[in-house]
Structure 1
Amino acid sequence: MVNTKQQEQPVNPNPSEELKKASVLDTIQQLGQTMTPAGESNIFCMTIIGQVEGHLVLPPQNKTTKYEHIIPQLVAVEQNPKIEGVFIVLNTVGGDVEAGLAIAEMIATLSKPTVTLVLGGGHSIGVPIAVSSSFSIIAATATMTIHPIRLNGLVIGVPQTFEYLDKMQERVIRFITSHSQITEEKIKELMFKTGELTRDIGTTVIGADAVKYGLINAVGGIADGIRELNQRIEQNRKQSSGGIVQ
């Protein structure tokens, strides 16, 4: 005789344990570790890594930062009263010029204190992003490649193409000089220097040299960046709470 009675499934008396195990497994898969920092922070950390992806989708093997992901995050940061500062970690080879400038303009126009930290590299269009914050820091071993704008693909050989490139170049130079201490003459000298890059014109600036030229504010690391941002947040709080005294 066949027993048609369904076997009862064991019920977990503690469902929170199952959720905890699933969370740990997910953390291992995503971050390679079993523990993540706990607690809510008043600082929003944004990473710009790999290549800045703009209007064209890059191949799947490329590590990219999509500007359509970054811009909504910055809008949310501006609207969220719990977030008092933004810490931008930069390690990028550059990418789309207009997308990079869009990100840089968004960071520069935030009402909240911002600090950028250049780790590894902040090359090409990463330079405007690096200088767009309230305060910029570069690691001692990090580099920044400054070079003229380049075009890929079909280029129409007419004077209008050169004028378009020249105007775009001026936009980048104007942004960099207005958000850092470097002069227009110096940035153009570094940009159009020959002999340093093997197959191109431009200059690779390392750590302390970026500070010497006035491109970046200081040499340091993550602790220096967080300390500077916390100081600026505290100053912002005092200004907000102090009001105007007649």
Structure 2
Amino acid sequence: MEEAEQPEQQQENPTKAALDAISQLGQMNVPAANESNIFCLTIVGQIEGHMVLPPQNKTTKYEHIIPTLVATEQNKNIDGILIILNTVGGDVEAGLAIAEMIASLTKPTVTVVVGGGHSIGVPIAVSSTYSIIAESATMTIHPIRLNGLVIGVPQTFEYMEKMQERVVRFVTTHSRITESQFKELMFRTGELNRDVGTPVGGIDAVKYGLMDEVGGIGQALAKLNRLIDDRKRTQDAEGIKQ
């Protein structure tokens, strides 16, 4: 009887593991052998950083994203990563940490902005090998802001200015938008009520050079598969030379 029950237990365990991953991380486990060679990473809601947000907030925790990216980079069964964004932004340093990690991956990556890729979501959106935005999606570009207690001393404003320059430098390095154009969008007034910044739609994001293409999941997967094929051909050519 014990031997007959073992296969059932083995079938239940992977299912339980998958459900636990969805419950805890909001995404499936890293693919194993004989599964998809593309890993889908979702970044939704507010990006949670060093402070825990209230339970009613839909959040993406950077302490979950970072080890997931490390695991996908090491997994030989994964050839490419599809990153789907619908985020309002969040913690600046956490967002930049995620963006830097995506940019440093050796495997092809494609980001797709659906709904919105606002605030610190902009650097994440442009950090991939190729970036796509839905026509109906928007990206809000605005200056760095602080929540809570702010000490009104020159050092605080110098820190904010340096942090802002980090964001500007990263975005302009990983996209085709110029620094002057990005700062013009960042400091433009009159576009938003009671705020400073600019909402950029899908078509305009491509026109400004912020994103590469207007499209959706179909275009993203097609592009990612082409990037994977190109990488394999390059690796094969290098292997022949060696």
Tell me the TM-score range normalised by the shorter chain: 0.7 to 0.9
Match of 2:156 among 136, 153, 161: 161
Deviation at 1:167? 0.4
What is the alpha-carbon root mean square deviation over aligned residues?
2.5
Match of 2:104 among 85, 106, 109: 109
Deviation at 1:245? 3.8
1:156-235 to 2 correspondences below 5 Å? 156-235=151-230
Query: Runs of 5+ in structure 1 lacking a partner?
Result: 1-10, 32-38
Q: Secondary structure at the match of 1:215?
A: coil
Match of 1:152 among 142, 147, 153: 147
**Structure 2 letter corresponding to 1:136:** S
Q: Secondary structure at the match of 2:150?
A: coil
Which structure has the greater CA radius of gyration?
Answer: 1
Matched, 1:57 2:52: yes
Q: Which structure shows the higher helix fraction? A: 2
State how far apart, in whole Å, the 1-side matches of 2:134 and 2:7 are: 43
CA shift digits 1:112-148 (9 cap, x unpaired): 0000000000000000000000000000000000000
Query: Runs of 5+ in structure 2 lacking a partner?
Result: 24-33
CA shift digits 1:83-116 (9 cap, x unpaired): 1101000000000000000000000000000000
Deviation at 1:157? 1.0
State how far apart, in whole Å, the 2-side matches of 1:40 and 1:135 are: 24
Deviation at 1:16? 6.4
CA shift digits 1:158-191 (9 cap, x unpaired): 1111111100000000000000000000000000
Q: Secondary structure at the match of 1:140?
A: coil
State how far apart, in whole Å, the 2-side matches of 1:40 and 1:21 are: 18
State how far apart, in whole Å, the 2-side matches of 1:69 and 1:14 are: 34
TM-score, length-scaled by structure 2: 0.87
Match of 1:36 in 2: none
Identity of aligned residues (%): 67
State how far apart, in whole Å, the 2-side matches of 1:178 and 1:20 are: 47
Moved over 2 A (4+): 13-24
